[in-house]
Structure 1
Amino acid sequence: MPKDWSWSSLGDQADLLTGFPFRSEEYSTNCSAIRLLRGDNVVQGGIRWKDAKRWPLENLKHFARFELEVGDLVIAMDRTWIEAGLKVAPIGEQDTPSLLVQRVARVRSKAGFSQAYLRHLVRSFDFESYVKQAQTATAVPHISPTDIREYRIPVPPRSEQRRIASVLDAWDQALEQTERLILAKRRRKTAWVQKLFGNLPKRPLLEAADVWFSGVDKKARVGEAAVRLCNYMDVFHNSRITSKLDFMRATASPSQIVSNSLRKHDVVFTKDSETSEEIAQPALIAEDIDDLVCGYHLAIARPRDEVGHGPFIAQAMRHPSIRWQFSRLANGVVRFGLTLDAIEQAEIFLPSLDVQERIAAVLDAEDLMIEDLSARAELFRTQKRGLMQKLLTGEWRLGEKFE
């Protein structure tokens, strides 16, 4: 801690207000009524107003202290931390006017303390760790106003607070811009999919590719050959399988290697899942990868020469109508799976080979742009985490040139 910094508590540097218990019987259906900000409206870094509840304007004068202002920070006190991150968000112009509801806290800095600096403190990894420890272990984990007020924070001089916030804001802006580009590219791809698949004929999947199920598990056995394993999560989390992935190491028998080795333009898809919607999620083997075999709970679709094109088959299997078809063909109650009989019933879009190649080229180009932008966004996140660790502890100091 630098000598000109001090320790304090969030409650000493900011005013915290919890929301009012608005009665659901008095909610308004008038779209011009004021929105109520509840815990389920607070998501990671933003406010989600879909299906927002509203309050009659004629009653507004009684609840003026619960009106939110641009720049306020809100914290959902129930399930404050979930796997997606902290349910903490700043209030923007698009989020006003709105009223604060119970089980949500509004945090507003006191005089002499920077609201922008405070925003980064409560969205930091340190605050996330604090919330995880403070959350009560009940059916609905929550933190109390006291927990929030007692959070210990570093307090640099006011001018340095502004400089720190300015630098971190720049990374936030770069990340937000990149995420907007990703959203725009995804929307454009959706439009391409609707246009390119619109009037294509459907034929049985087995006319386009040979399909079989893999049975290679994750175990390593003495006497078997060492292999790289393309496992379930590799396929579930990636649309393209490349040599850049960190594959699990396992072993396989000679017959398993012959049957389940993967080659360029094979399509691997999920055969089993806990939900029917996650059945037949595909990933394209984008290149030849030495010693790569397909793991358990997966199926391999190998395109037939002069009939099927792997990149096209992978794109077609992501089409909503094909996804819905496979979810309907899956059997199960608690866990779902495809059988070979189901594969025989499955259909896929199947135009001529040259049409498949042209469509795949367009959609693959869109995917590559989205992947590049996603990698850039992840880089910004990583860089900002590193910056926060250095700047919010005073390890790195910012001079006046950053004003």
Structure 2
Amino acid sequence: MQVSRQRYTPNDVGPSPLEWSAPQLSQVSELITNGFVGTASPFYTDESGVPYLYGSNVRPNRIDFKGIRYITHDFHEQESKTALKSGDLLMVQSGHIGETAVVPSNLEGANCHAIIVTRLKKDFVHPDYLSYYINSEIGRARLKGLEVGSTILHINTKDLKKFRVLLPSLLEQKKIARILSTWDQAIVTIEQLLESSLLQKKGLMQELLTGKLRLQGFHSDWRLIALGKLFKERVETGLNDLPLLSITTEEGVINRKDVGRKDTSNADKSKYLRICQNDIGYNTMRMWQGVSGISNQEGIVSPAYTVLIPQTGVDSLFASYLFKLPSLVHVFYRYSQGMVSDTWNLKYSNFAKIKWLVPNLDEQKAIVKVLLVADQEIQILRAKLTCLNQEKKSLMQQLLTGKRRVKVDELEAV
């Protein structure tokens, strides 16, 4: 395949088929303008008003209706130049810069705040195709070249008007958009299943970890016991040869290399704490936010953490679930000390005083089995979602640059 353009910049679209065009956005648009910039809150009203979109409502290739605002009809008339039409492109101007979505038909006549509105010439450009292009890895990389500002980065409409867009024929645009839309639908389906599974697990934890729901065969009363009876503190230092671990909110105890952030730990690790398999570690200053986890390996952690050794009568996995229970996390908050939230900490001495209702060991293990099944379902869905997103990303890279062409039929014109 012959190619021309070789670079990716705001004015150069990079390698692409020679028959594809690369006009400036202004050449294929009827309108490129800003949403209202100013204070809109005095004009908020209830749902009888006009939907009013902020940048937070614009996500890649979709509108997020959560937290949507409404404005009075009078204010909408006053700002009628940014009254939206179905098929308009909305681009986030600052914040998550460049994220773009198409206005759906149910938002025809809505309005927007500090968002770039582009009304395309639909004889030349299919809105969904261009939204996919702008949100692609290449599109976003090229948009970076338009960002200006010393403190708050943003994009100006005058610069966006000169931004070149890569366009195959209109029929090919529509076909590409339909293909990618099919992937989006599959991704949304998995996301919904994942959200449902997470809610089900949350409900199960609330019922099982409080004794509101008892598993078959278990009738013994739960004991109110101090956590200091169930856990002792591990304070072992000077083991610098062990791997450095970190404790995260979502993933628990993981290798520090897998955190994805620069290692800012002290070069001298002589005071770092040993953590062993089945120990539970928690962030002393963030236990009130639920930052804890069970360790599946031996290593060392920062002295900013507290390490707990499970004693007879407690299952480590059960405790790791229990420590995420909102009602217990709130107790951790109450027992934390410090002048302001930045300095609140839950040292072992205070942790040990907390009393909580706990079932016998057999019931703990039975509860863990149920919650592990829920976790496995969630892990499978997350893996599917990751796979779909990676495959879609690769497909976008090929379709939106012409490396992979789609067959179009004149009869497909809509």
Work out the CA distance in 2 between the residues paired with 1:302 and 1:205: 11
Work out the CA distance in 1 between the residues paired with 2:62 and 2:235: 43
Work out the CA distance in 1 between the residues paired with 2:152 and 2:78: 30
Question: Is 1:180 the counterpart of 2:192 in the alignment?
Answer: yes
2:21 is aligned to 6
Q: Does the CA contact (< 8 Å) of 1:18 and 1:104 recur in 2?
A: yes
User: TM-score normalised to the size of structure 1?
Assistant: 0.80
The alpha carbon displacement at 1:108 in A equals 3.3
1:314 is aligned to 320
Work out the CA distance in 2 between the residues paired with 1:101 and 1:165: 25
Deviates more, 1:384-393 or 1:201-210: 201-210
Letter in 1 for 2:382: S
Structural mapping, 1:240-389, within 5 Å: 260-263=274-277, 265-273=278-286, 277-278=288-289, 280-285=290-295, 287=296, 289=297, 292-305=299-312, 307-332=313-338, 333=340, 334-389=342-397
1:138/1:347 CA distance change after superposition, 3 Å? farther
Number of residue pairs the alignment of both structures matches: 378
The alpha carbon displacement at 1:13 in A equals 2.4
1:72/1:374 CA distance change after superposition, 3 Å? farther
- State the secondary structure of the residue aligned to 2:352: helix
Let me know the Cα RMSD of the aligned residues.
3.6
Structural mapping, 1:73-112, within 5 Å: 73-81=89-97, 87-93=99-105, 96-97=107-108, 99-110=110-121, 111-112=123-124
The alpha carbon displacement at 1:354 in A equals 1.8
Structural mapping, 1:16-55, within 5 Å: 16-20=32-36, 24=40, 27-43=43-59, 45-55=61-71
Q: Does the CA contact (< 8 Å) of 2:120 and 2:127 recur in 1?
A: yes
1:194/1:168 CA distance change after superposition, 3 Å? same
2:244 is aligned to 229
2:5 is aligned to none
Structure 1: which 5+ runs fail to align? Answer: 217-223
- State the secondary structure of the residue aligned to 1:342: helix
> Which whole-Å deviations, capped at 9, do the CAs of 1:221-255 have from their partners, x for residues lacking one?
xxx774322224xx34404759x9699999999x9
Q: Does the CA contact (< 8 Å) of 1:214 and 1:296 recur in 2?
A: no
Work out the CA distance in 1 between the residues paired with 2:207 and 2:199: 13
Q: Does the CA contact (< 8 Å) of 2:52 and 2:113 recur in 1?
A: no
Letter in 2 for 1:262: C
1:204 is aligned to 226
Work out the CA distance in 1 between the residues paired with 2:226 and 2:109: 53
> Which whole-Å deviations, capped at 9, do the CAs of 1:204-226 have from their partners, x for residues lacking one?
2222222335657xxxxxxx774
Structure 2: which 5+ runs fail to align? Answer: 1-15, 212-221
1:163/1:187 CA distance change after superposition, 3 Å? same
Q: Which structure has the highest strand share of the two?
A: 1
Q: 2:134 aligns with which of 100, 122, 128?
A: 122
1:198/1:155 CA distance change after superposition, 3 Å? same
Work out the CA distance in 2 between the residues paired with 1:211 and 1:155: 63
Letter in 2 for 1:238: E
The alpha carbon displacement at 1:170 in A equals 2.3
1:178/1:50 CA distance change after superposition, 3 Å? closer
Structural mapping, 1:151-166, within 5 Å: 151-166=163-178
Identity of paired residues, percent? 21
Work out the CA distance in 1 between the residues paired with 2:223 and 2:64: 39
Letter in 1 for 2:92: A
The alpha carbon displacement at 1:351 in A equals 1.4
Deviates more, 1:134-143 or 1:350-359: 134-143
User: TM-score normalised to the size of structure 2?
Assistant: 0.78
Q: Does the CA contact (< 8 Å) of 2:245 and 2:253 recur in 1?
A: no
Letter in 2 for 1:160: E
Q: Does the CA contact (< 8 Å) of 2:49 and 2:72 recur in 1?
A: yes
The alpha carbon displacement at 1:339 in A equals 1.8
